Amino acid sequence: MPQDPIAAWHELVERRSPEGLDALVDENAVFYSPVVHTPQTGKAVTVQYLSAALQVFVTDDFHYVRQVKDDNNAILEFEVELDGIQVNGVDMIRWNDAGKITEFKVMLRPLKAVNLIHQKMAAMLQAR
């Protein structure tokens, strides 16, 4: 039986570790960033973005406040305070029948939060 990708994602967030992302993400996954115009295609770049996001977003203050899930889709609403800015966002996740994430889309609000995340993610990705 395939893994439950949302349970696996929650475990990664709980551990604040990207270990396990490689097994969770499909080879043809697509990542949609709230600050990059074009979709980021492929497992390597999706894992890279998600690994950076785990380091930037997931603090002691990070928490999911709502989850809506069906057979192959989930929407997870989250809140976190970063540098004094309250960030509210959603992770929209789609997976295949093998339990591998095929699409991960992040949406954020307000604009101050989007700008802050853009700076932090750019710094994190350039450092790699």
Better-predicted residue by pLDDT, 2 or 9:
9
Residue 68: CB partners within 8 Å, gap ≥ 6?
74, 75
Question: Please, are residues 87 and 113 in contact by the beta-carbon 8 Å criterion?
Answer: yes
**What is the DSSP annotation of 58-79?**
-STT-EEEEEEE-SSEEEEEEE
Residue 75: burial class (beta carbons within 10 Å; 0-12, 13-18, 19+)? middle
* pLDDT > 60? residue 1: no
Q: What is the number of domains present in the chain?
A: 1
- CATH number of 108's domain: 3.10.450.50
Residue 20: burial class (beta carbons within 10 Å; 0-12, 13-18, 19+)? middle
pLDDT of 109-126, one tens digit each? 998 888 888 887 777 667
Q: Which range of residues forms the domain containing residue 35?
A: 5-127
pLDDT of residue 37: 84
Lowest mean pLDDT among 7-21, 48-62, 88-102: 48-62
pLDDT of residue 58: 86
Residue 9: burial class (beta carbons within 10 Å; 0-12, 13-18, 19+)? buried
pLDDT of residue 117: 81
pLDDT of 71-108, one tens digit each? 999 999 999 999 899 999 999 999 999 999 999 999 99
| CA–CA gap between residue 102 and residue 24 (Å, rounded) | 9
